[in-house]
Structure 1
Amino acid sequence: MKRSILAVALLGIAPVIHAQSSVTLYGVIDASLLFTSKTPNAQGQNAGRTFALADGGLSPSLFGFSGVEDLGGGLKAKFKIESGFNTGTGGINDSNGNFFGRQAWVALEGNYGEVRAGLQFSPFVNTIYDSDTRGFANFGDVQSIYGNNVFLTGVHNSNAISYTSPKIAGLEGSVMLALGGEAGDFQAGRQYAASFKYDNGTVMLNGAIYDGNSGGTVNTPIPSTVAFVGRTLGAAYRIGSLTAKAVFINYKVAGAANNYVYGGGLDYIMASQVDFNGGVWLTRDRNNSDNHSLLASVGAAYFLSRRTTLYTQVGVVNNHGAANTGLSVSYPNVFFEVQGTTVGVNVGIRHTF
């Protein structure tokens, strides 16, 4: 009798829960052929050309689960867990080295904004993404400069709490604090960031700061607590299918470089089926003017469908002094590059689900 009553109760509740909540499986699979005219060896010298199958030429290969539950009164509970993988080998890739190393957070969202807790992207890296003309492509993009300076620090922030305001008259802001968790030392591994963004559909202006310390209890296979201070300002202007963007970024890395990055480019979507974009980024070390690099690239994407894209990209990087800006963040052999000029070509296919 008790079992029957319990079964009826569960059957009665289940449709209500289903109507108010949802869970989504999503992902990206990206594979490409990569050619570079130079490849650094362990000593930083040129080992010759590279021709290889590379994972994630345009964007990282990943899968994840996201969910949302309507709690009523405009309040929602949300979560996301996300893992990166290598299409060529099936191994963990493009994250901090942990299985769900890209994102793992839970949040409450309401009329007054969103509070999020867990492993998440920082407002600093989100701001750079918004002002990047190539959309954080894994090849020939400002993302290569980011990783070259501070690896994954600021990208995948562990033990983080953030607040993002609602958008009011096109303006929104975000703040984040990541806790190092070391007993007796609040500063060890502590990271914080803040950002603003104004977007009226035609003009976009944004800016962000980041301040992170080394140490703490976070220990990931790929460094994510490099001590650095970051600043960025960006702008975009849209005219129909054409978007122009410009960005300034400063990476002041403790005990190392103080790099200023100046960049910009154009993105043009033709007939909703082809996307052309290109960008140029100049990096200079304010601590040593001999260390500088110039990265330039162009890309074209053809949308076979809403989910499947064919693409090609061409990039050139020129390094001087101790500068070693690479061409790709997804292929480790060319994450850093040698002095002089290196040319690379990338052709691939991306499918989302």
Structure 2
Amino acid sequence: MKTSSLIASVLTGVFSSFATAQSSVTIYGILDENLTYNTNINGKHLVSLGSGGLQSTRWGIRGIEDLGGGAKALFMLENGFNITNGALSNANPGSTQGLEFGRQAWIGLGNEAGTITIGRQYDSVVDFLGKLSIADQWGGSITAHPADIDNFNNTGRVNNAIKLSSATYAGLKIDGLYSLGGIAGHLAQNQVWSLGAGYDSGPMTVGVGYLNVRNPNIGFYGDNGASTPANANGVFFTSPVTSGFASARSMRVIGAGAAYTIDKTTVGMTYSNTRFQSLGDTLASGPNPNHYTGSATFNDVELNLRFQATPALVLGTAINYLKGNGVASTTLSSDGATYWQGAVGADYALSKRTDVYVVGMVQKASGTQSTGGPAVAAINGLTASRNSRQALARVGMRHKF
């Protein structure tokens, strides 16, 4: 028998067995590349190619095995990579080496009531509120709330996580997640937990979520327990919006959002309250050069609109307001920072799997940023401006398989 015939026979047998057991394994992915013009990167203009415009470039494998009696085993492995140079994405903080399956990696069991999954996963805020923000619709990560401060855009993923998710009943779904911190003798250190619920039926979508992170500089924006304390290992918060609060003992996010569709138009709104609490925990969390005490609180409001102009063309616009409170310090006076940003976008489908898009946005900052100086504009995921303003335009192409 020829080698090609042998391979064909083996593959036929494998996929026949999957079909018999009513099980499946699917390979999928997204390729997204863009060209971006930024008016102010440390005071200079920049034109650059980038991977991941509307969505991060990725490929993954997901599978379901029918165990009988309504039970099933399931898994997901998802890898992020940079289409511009082929490098792995989702690196551990302070490392240039990406993670093989840095986006998601979990295994679990399920039935008609819901699922339980274990591994690297998304929290409840991401599950129920991310989809209501423009960053997960037509804007991409650059349009996320400054520094993705409430994690609506999934900047922080959760390692060592156990997650319970219900099935959807009459449009309602709930889930909860708990991550073990992994520090011997310190049960609460680096732990993460969240709860959320969503309702999606007809023209109405509603979501609520709660996220609580201990030692967020390590346990969330770091690598969830594998790092030494940040005062010896650096600051994993990378944006000036938040990097001065690395010494927070805990981070708490409360969020809610809703969207309503009328004919071709969808109007939406999200709100979040984020608190970096017990500042000054330099032993287990991170450095505190500005000698902050107490808590730093941020309130964020996003108003957005999406218009389905034709079956192939989506138009969108949004405005976002982030306000931080004043923070107590023994060495300086901080009145907090305010960030306004607006975005417009268009996405045109060339086919069911391929689309082209354009996104433009501006940001204006004022007040005192987390590092103690005058606030500078810092569009999410990009190098900050040298002054209070920053703007960009992006064009790109996305293909799904």
Report the TM-score, using the length of structure 2 for normalisation: 0.76
- Give, as a single letter, the amino acid of the residue that structure 1 aligns with 2:378: G
User: What residue in structure 2 maps to residue 124 of structure 1?
Assistant: 125
- Asked whether the 8 Å contact 1:80–1:104 carries over to 2, the reply is yes
2-structure distance, mates of 1:114, 1:53: 40
1:38 to 28, 33, 40: 40
User: What residue in structure 1 maps to residue 165 of structure 2?
Assistant: 164
1-structure distance, mates of 2:320, 2:142: 10
Q: Secondary structure at the match of 1:195?
A: strand
Q: Deviations over 1:138-197 (max 9, x none)?
A: 35422x525357799873100001111122222211110011111111101100000011
The change in CA–CA distance for 1:130 and 1:299 in structure 2 (over 3 A counts) is same
- Give, as a single letter, the amino acid of the residue that structure 1 aligns with 2:356: L
Q: Secondary structure at the match of 1:38?
A: strand
2-structure distance, mates of 1:24, 1:340: 46
- Asked whether the 8 Å contact 2:301–2:321 carries over to 1, the reply is yes
2-structure distance, mates of 1:70, 1:154: 33
Aligned Cα root-mean-square deviation (Å): 2.7
The change in CA–CA distance for 1:249 and 1:325 in structure 2 (over 3 A counts) is farther
1:79-158 equivalences in 2 (<5 Å): 79-94=75-90, 96=92, 97-135=98-136, 137-142=139-144, 144-147=145-148, 155-158=156-159
User: What residue in structure 1 maps to residue 378 of structure 2?
Assistant: 326
- Give, as a single letter, the amino acid of the residue that structure 1 aligns with 2:359: Q
Kindly indicate whether residue 342 of structure 2 is the aligned counterpart of residue 342 of structure 1. Answer: no
1:326, distance to aligned residue in structure 2 (A)? 3.0
User: What residue in structure 1 maps to residue 208 of structure 2?
Assistant: 207
The change in CA–CA distance for 1:202 and 1:72 in structure 2 (over 3 A counts) is same
Q: Secondary structure at the match of 2:226?
A: coil
1-structure distance, mates of 2:302, 2:126: 15
Kindly indicate whether residue 92 of structure 2 is the aligned counterpart of residue 69 of structure 1. Answer: no
Q: Deviations over 1:56-98 (max 9, x none)?
A: 1211011111111112222221111111111111112256542
2-structure distance, mates of 1:204, 1:299: 22
- Asked whether the 8 Å contact 1:319–1:338 carries over to 2, the reply is no
2-structure distance, mates of 1:153, 1:123: 10
1:335, distance to aligned residue in structure 2 (A)? 4.3
1:251 to 270, 274, 282: 274
Q: Secondary structure at the match of 2:183?
A: coil
The change in CA–CA distance for 1:152 and 1:316 in structure 2 (over 3 A counts) is closer
- Give, as a single letter, the amino acid of the residue that structure 2 aligns with 1:239: I
1-structure distance, mates of 2:15, 2:129: 43
2-structure distance, mates of 1:134, 1:211: 22
The change in CA–CA distance for 1:269 and 1:201 in structure 2 (over 3 A counts) is same
- Asked whether the 8 Å contact 1:134–1:279 carries over to 2, the reply is no
1-structure distance, mates of 2:15, 2:179: 37
User: What residue in structure 2 maps to residue 218 of structure 1?
Assistant: 225
Report the TM-score, using the length of structure 1 for normalisation: 0.86
The change in CA–CA distance for 1:343 and 1:17 in structure 2 (over 3 A counts) is closer
- Give, as a single letter, the amino acid of the residue that structure 2 aligns with 1:250: N
The change in CA–CA distance for 1:128 and 1:326 in structure 2 (over 3 A counts) is farther
The change in CA–CA distance for 1:212 and 1:14 in structure 2 (over 3 A counts) is same
Kindly indicate whether residue 247 of structure 2 is the aligned counterpart of residue 240 of structure 1. Answer: no
User: Unpaired segments of 5 or more residues in structure 2?
Assistant: 1-11, 93-97, 228-232, 238-245, 280-294, 327-333, 370-374
User: What residue in structure 2 maps to residue 6 of structure 1?
Assistant: none
User: What residue in structure 2 maps to residue 23 of structure 1?
Assistant: 25
User: What residue in structure 1 maps to residue 199 of structure 2?
Assistant: 198
The change in CA–CA distance for 1:211 and 1:35 in structure 2 (over 3 A counts) is same
- Asked whether the 8 Å contact 1:187–1:213 carries over to 2, the reply is yes
- Give, as a single letter, the amino acid of the residue that structure 2 aligns with 1:197: G
2:46 to 50, 60, 68: 50
The change in CA–CA distance for 1:304 and 1:328 in structure 2 (over 3 A counts) is farther
1:14, distance to aligned residue in structure 2 (A)? 7.9
Q: Secondary structure at the match of 2:102?
A: coil
Further displaced range: 222-231 or 256-265: 222-231
- Asked whether the 8 Å contact 1:133–1:244 carries over to 2, the reply is no
User: What residue in structure 1 maps to residue 243 of structure 2?
Assistant: none
2-structure distance, mates of 1:231, 1:325: 24
Q: Deviations over 1:195-234 (max 9, x none)?
A: 0112222122211111011256633799499841111010
Further displaced range: 343-352 or 94-103: 94-103
Q: Deviations over 1:292-321 (max 9, x none)?
A: 001110110110111111110110011113
- Asked whether the 8 Å contact 2:376–2:389 carries over to 1, the reply is no
User: Using CA pairs below 8 Å that are at least 6 residues apart, which structure has the higher relative contact order?
Assistant: 1
1:268 to 282, 297, 307: 307
